[in-house]
Amino acid sequence: MSETAVNLTAYWRDSAYLRCATWLTCAIGALLVLLMPFALWNSGATGAIEVTIAAVICLLPGLVALWFTSQSTDSNQVLFGLLFSMGLRLLPPLVICLALSLRSTGAEYFSFIVYLLLFYMVTLALETYLSVRLVQPKR
């Protein structure tokens, strides 16, 4: 095995953020794969685009929130890191739903909002679990 591969393996083993980010990305990807046939059946190509956009809207803030939590290693910063991460994770879906409700009646965006809420719930549960694991003291 080359020295670069050994260094990358050691970095992967020692980097808790990368492991947590990989879990979150795989979970969102699995849900995307599960919802894609339904979205294609329900709305065709528009449904596929909606479900993909909903996945990205929930995944990116989740990854940033995990990174911020992983950087909050001081015991005084842990609570602030978790609270900031929760706000950061909630803000994009909330703003998008608010914008859609102000723009029209929302009935034409119903399927997108349902996809967004499904992805948000999965991201919320998994990212909260992973954040708590990140801030636990090493044993």
pLDDT tens for 71-116 read 876 767 777 777 888 888 888 888 888 888 887 776 678 888 899 9
Question: Is there a domain that residue 38 lies in?
Answer: yes
Q: Is 42 exposed, middle or buried (0-12, 13-18, 19+ CB in 10 A)?
A: middle
Q: Give 24-68 pLDDT, tens digit per residue.
A: 999 999 999 999 999 999 888 888 999 999 999 999 998 988 888
Question: Is there a domain that residue 6 lies in?
Answer: no
Q: Which residue range(s) make up the domain with 114?
A: 20-135
Question: Is there a domain that residue 127 lies in?
Answer: yes
Question: Is there a domain that residue 13 lies in?
Answer: no
Of the listed ranges 14-23, 99-108, 112-121, the least confidently predicted one is 99-108
* Count of beta carbons in the 10 Å neighbourhood of residue 116: 23
Q: Is the torsion defined by CA of 87, 28, 121, 56 positive or negative?
A: positive
Q: What is the pTM of this model?
A: 0.81
Cβ–Cβ under 8 Å, residues 119 and 58 = yes
Question: Is there a domain that residue 9 lies in?
Answer: no
Q: Report the number of distinct structural domains present in the chain.
A: 1
Task: Give the CA distances from residue 42 to residues 36, 39, 73, 112, 126, in Å, rounded to whole numbers and listed in that order.
Answer: 10, 5, 45, 11, 27
